Amino acid sequence: MRVRKVQEKRSWAIAVAVAIIKPTLLLLTKQKWVGGEQNFPADEGCVVVVNHLSHVDPLTTALLSYDHGRIPRFLIKSGLFKNKALGFFLKQAGQIPVYRESAGAAGAYDAAVAAVRHGQAVLIYPEATITRDPDLWPMRGKSGAARIALETGCPVVPVGQWGAQAILPPYTKRPFLFPRKTIVARIGAPVDLSDLAAKQPRTAEVVNEATDRIMAAITHQVELIREEHAPKERYDMRVQGDRFKDRKKAS
């Protein structure tokens, strides 16, 4: 694809991050972005939803967004903001802290809605954690992305990505940097939630249907990359447990 020029004003933190992350990823990886010229909004507020494979994902997904002319705003676990220096940097870069299961949890939702309404691109991993599916297919999603999209009426852009797990497999610490890995991302057409956005009141059933559509769209893009069919039933940690945690306990 032809790389788009970023039109938004960059903070000093974004400029520093780009100067470090982009050349590093260009050195260590090859990128194949598909469908972005047609489907990645050039300037309007949007929610970009991506499957989660590795702790490397935020770096590769940030490059994907930046190559399409958009400064990425992630929803990031609040723990990373506890370090004063890192927290200050992340805030200056416009990232959004998520305080799970606390009185501040609603703040992330409000901040994400505000960012979208200000024309920004908010990137979300709807699974909320690295997939536990044994074959790394997308899991059952959480409702945050759907609720933001239903509230704002913004485009929801599904992205399926594959390759980051070859650099750093899930929940491991040793990276495999060479030979260079290829990161493939397919950007699909925005998920149609217009019928659901029009429904009032916004019940749990409506939000769940929107979430299912989002995860189906992401999964379809992953299927196209892998040229395989995903399982009919998505992995659900609430039912099937956390296999990484169980493996750690067993060891």
Q: In the prediction, which pLDDT does 249 show?
A: 57
Distance, C-alpha 88 to centroid of its chain: 22
How many C-alpha atoms does 214 have within 13 Å on its Cβ side? Answer: 33
CA distances from 176 to 28, 164, 166, 179, 199 (A): 10, 10, 7, 8, 48
Token pair of 125 as six digits: 């991993």
Residue 40 and residue 115 in contact, taking contact as beta carbons nearer than 8 Å? no
Q: In the prediction, which pLDDT does 251 show?
A: 52
CATH of domain 30-242: 3.40.1130.10
Distance, C-alpha 12 to centroid of its chain: 23
Q: In the prediction, which pLDDT does 185 show?
A: 98
CA-based nearest residue to 152, from 124, 128, 120: 120
- Residue 78 is classified by DSSP as G
Q: In the prediction, which pLDDT does 88 show?
A: 95
Q: How far, in Å, CA of 148 to CA of 9, rounded?
A: 24
Q: How far, in Å, CA of 34 to CA of 48, rounded?
A: 15
Q: How far, in Å, CA of 225 to CA of 215, rounded?
A: 16
Residue 45 and residue 152 in contact, taking contact as beta carbons nearer than 8 Å? yes
Residue 221 and residue 158 in contact, taking contact as beta carbons nearer than 8 Å? yes
Phi, psi of 183 (to 5 degrees): -100, 120
> H-helix or E-strand containing 58?
helix 57-67
Where are the chain's structural domains?
30-242
> H-helix or E-strand containing 123?
strand 121-124
Q: In the prediction, which pLDDT does 127 show?
A: 96
Q: In the prediction, which pLDDT does 104 show?
A: 53
Look up tokens 């702790």; give the residue: 55
Residue type, position 79, single letter = G
How open is the CA angle 96-158-241, to the nearest 5 degrees? 75
Q: In the prediction, which pLDDT does 233 show?
A: 96
Token pair of 6 as six digits: 């970023």
Look up tokens 């594959």; give the residue: 162
Look up tokens 């299927």; give the residue: 223
> Residue-wise pLDDT tens for the chain (251 aa)?
678 989 899 999 999 999 999 999 999 999 999 999 999 999 999 999 999 999 999 999 999 999 999 999 999 888 889 899 999 999 999 999 987 655 556 788 999 999 999 999 999 999 999 999 999 999 999 999 999 999 999 999 999 999 999 999 998 999 999 999 999 999 999 999 999 999 888 999 999 999 999 999 999 999 999 999 999 999 999 999 887 776 655 55
Q: How far, in Å, CA of 170 to CA of 53, rounded?
A: 6
